[in-house]
Structure 1
Amino acid sequence: VAEHFTRDWTYTPGDGKKFFGTGLMYDKVYAYIGTHFTTKLAAYKGSLDPMTLFFDENLKPAFNDEAGVKALSVMKELKKYAPPGVMSWQYAQSKDAFYQEKTAMLVSWQSVGMGANNPAESNIVDKWWVAPMPKGVIRASADGNGRSWAITSDTADPDLAWEWIKFWADYDRMIAVTRSGAGMDPAREAPYHDSELLKDFPFLEIVWESIKVDVPFPVMPETPRLFETLSGYLQSAVLGEKTFKNALDEAA
């Protein structure tokens, strides 16, 4: 599909204006290139458990397998049909390209849909829709929600932290923030079934189907450092600086 839409769709052939099949967030941050990788790794490996995806029973790296190589090969193939510069793209660049009709589709968070029908920032008002990620062995998505909270073991005042979480997790407040256009996604299930919210944002019903097959980050203290390292190797593979297998083996 991405290949089909990557072409000169203008009325003046050769004018240098090109339409691309997909927008990608391949910046070397795990929330970006790592999310693309995790989604595909889960789909091809057939598991939504982050510990099973990335580690074996002895907590040794296990992402450098056939599924990992397949995930990277698809990521590199998609890069052919994306605008120049996507290796440094984050959320804003990918979203804006989609809003300005420079790309046919993108993989992103539901907050993109909150502004897509706002004519002040989007040229695609009422000309877009959402769909779950394509299925591999299973259907999967990754990093599906843009807001989450935790109380660490060394928090100075756990009770105060809990009160702060309850304040922001208040149902009415979460609905208001979602409607505000601030780009924050609901962090509770209930808003995705709220009848009034769905009247204005009906696509959230489909988004919820993707969240149900979401792959969270592994819950372990080493996660930020481990995945920051992995992201650099993912970039090297997509850029062709390393083979897919070598990049994953070296990361492991």
Structure 2
Amino acid sequence: MKTSRIWTLGASAALLAATLATPALSQETIRIIGHRSPPNEYYTGAMQKALPEGRVSVELMPIDKEMELASITMSSKSDAIDVLYLTDSSLKRFAANGWLEPLDDLWAKYKEEYKLDDFPPAIMEAVSYDGHIYSMPVLTNTELFFYRKDLFDEAGIAAPKTMDDYQNAAAKLDSGRMSGTIMSLKPVDAALNETHWYLNAVGDGWFDENWRPIFNQEAGVKAITRMKEMSEFAPRGFTSHANDESTINLQQGLAAMGLQWFTRAASMDDPQKSRVVGKIDWVAPPGGGARVANDGFAISAFSSGDKEEMFRMLAEASSVDSMIKGAEFSMPPRLSVLQNEELSEKYRWYPAARAALEDGKPFPALPDFNDVGDIVTRHVLRAVTGEVEVKAALDQAAKETEELLASRGYYKN
């Protein structure tokens, strides 16, 4: 442990020194860092095209390296980075630390020119912190409700709109050969996503306005009780299932429906992987409130460059036309693009994605939410598997959550 710690500190110091020692490109050059992926390659390329050749320098790298570089650079208040890629969870942390430039004034100034009201409320919530906008959304993922339309039609069941509809349909289609629903409760991320949906669709969410837990109150207990009931129709081993396992269960006809990410929709129609090609359909998750995840590009608060020019560069790269082209690589967060007829024909799950974006919810804007999620999902699993009564499990989760947040200065008293 001691050796590892020394190495980490040494590597971080070396990385900071290398960053600060990077030769100045030119006073006019905008330096962008980001996570290497096909969508980011496309959008950073669009940023380079938005300004004259040579004005934009792009460095893409693995996400852990980017986060390390960004954290070291920002914490030193260096102006070595101008624009950076951030996930919605990392954005909250960076914004809370005062490392990002608020974009509210520029957003209002260019709202009409760049059609910035085309982003739905759930997306704007994901790129905001403490009432301020900090990022230009470019990459979005949302959870959809996958269901076997052929089996629903045969059984005379309509696509579910409410959690009662969902439970009734799962009970009707559950059999020895096929589970009524997938359920992804592998700690932490998969279980956190499923819990988030239930707490929003059935309960009243996670916290009150002062970050005090409310998930252990009556509505939250009802939500996790419903999850426990639904687990009766889930595949064996659901507490160790995440996205891959649930995707396979749907593809192989081993489950009739359930919550899964937009990015898994195309694989349902892949004849090399799926036995249910053309049989799956999609709607917005019953009851609403399923997770919306959004990544984007933010401007460093410490950049000495022209931040208005940077904002316009970001807006050009995320324009309607740009996102129509970028739909090949990722789900576009603009409603008008999701409504595009050609794209809807090419990607038949797009109409459901649009609906899911409009009533979905990002994780709470809490910089320490991942740590809270680790606590809550541990106790939710104990409740769902019957190890502990639901109310007792949630009370203990709330107690530990309050202790954690109090230790990190969230409460005045």
Mapped to 1, the partners of 2:274 and 2:348 lie a distance apart of 18
% same residue: 26
Out of 2, 20, 23, the residue aligned to residue 182 of structure 2 is 23
Counterparts of 1:94 and 1:165 in 2: how far apart (Å)?
36
* Number of the residue aligned with 1:140: 288
Counterpart Cα distance in 1 of 2:250 and 2:313: 35
For residues 324 and 277 of structure 2, the distance between their equivalents in structure 1, rounded to whole angstroms, comes to 22
Give 2:391's match in structure 1, choosing from 229, 245, 251.
245
Q: Of the two, which has the highest radius of gyration? A: 2
Post-superposition offset of 1:97:
0.9
Say if 1:233 and 1:176 are closer, same or farther in 2 by CA, change over 3 A: farther
Distance apart, 1:69 and its partner CA: 0.9
2:171 alignment partner in structure 1: 3
CA contact (8 A) 2:195 2:377 kept: no
- Correspondence for 1:109: 261
Q: Supply the distance in 2 between the matched residues of 1:226 and 1:235 (Cα, whole angstroms).
A: 14
**Cα distance in 1 between the residues matched to 2:217 and 2:299:** 33
Q: Which of the pair is proportionally richer in strand?
A: 2
User: Does the CA contact (< 8 Å) of 2:184 and 2:243 recur in 1?
Assistant: yes
> What per-residue deviation string (whole Å, max 9, x for no partner) do you get for residues 60-97 of structure 1?
21111111111111111121111111101111110111
- Whether 1:233 aligns to 2:401 is no
Q: Could you tell me how far 1:154 is from its partner in structure 2?
A: 8.3
TM-score, scaled to structure 2: 0.49
The answer for the alignment partner of 1:39 in structure 2 is 197
Checking the alignment, whether the CA contact within 8 Å between 1:169 and 1:187 is kept in structure 2 is no
Distance of 2:235 and 2:252 partners within structure 1: 13
The whole-number CA distance in structure 1 between the counterparts of 2:297 and 2:322 is 19
CA distance in 2 between counterparts of 1:177 and 1:89 reads: 31
What is the aligned partner in structure 2 of residue 67 from structure 1?
Answer: 219
| Runs of 5+ unmatched residues, structure 1 | 9-17, 48-52
The Cα shift of 1:162 comes to 7.5
The Cα offsets for residues 17-38 of structure 1, whole Å up to 9 and x where unpaired, read as: x2111111111114x2222222
Q: 1:166 to 1:99 in 2, by over 3 A?
A: farther
Alignment check: 8 A CA contact 1:54 1:63 kept: yes
Kept after mapping to 1: 8 A contact 2:199/2:206: no
Provide structure 2 residue ranges, at least 5 long, that are not aligned to the other structure. 1-168, 399-413
User: Does 2:328 match 1:179?
Assistant: yes
1:212 CA displacement? 0.6
Contact 1:192 1:204 in 2 (8 A): yes
Opposite residue 216 of structure 2, the aligned amino acid is N
Quote the Cα distance in structure 2 between the aligned partners of 1:235 and 1:152. Answer: 39
Number of aligned residues: 228
Distance 2:356 2:298 in 1: 26
Q: What CA RMSD, in Å, does the superposition of the two structures yield over aligned residues?
A: 2.9
Aligned partner of 2:296 in structure 1 is 149
8 A contact 1:130–1:206 mirrored in 2: yes
Q: Is the Cα–Cα contact under 8 Å of residues 19 and 102 in structure 1 kept in the other structure?
A: yes
CA distance in 1, matches of 2:224, 2:289: 16
Deviation string, structure 1 residues 24-60 (Cα, Å, up to 9, x no partner): 1111114x22222222222234x5xxxxx22224322
Kindly state the Cα deviation for residue 172 of structure 1 after the two structures are TM-superposed. 6.0
Alpha-carbon distance in structure 1 between the residues aligned to 2:298 and 2:196: 25
Which residue is 1:50 aligned to?
none
Q: Distance in 2 between matches of 1:81 and 1:224?
A: 28
Secondary structure of the residue that 1:107 maps to in structure 2? strand
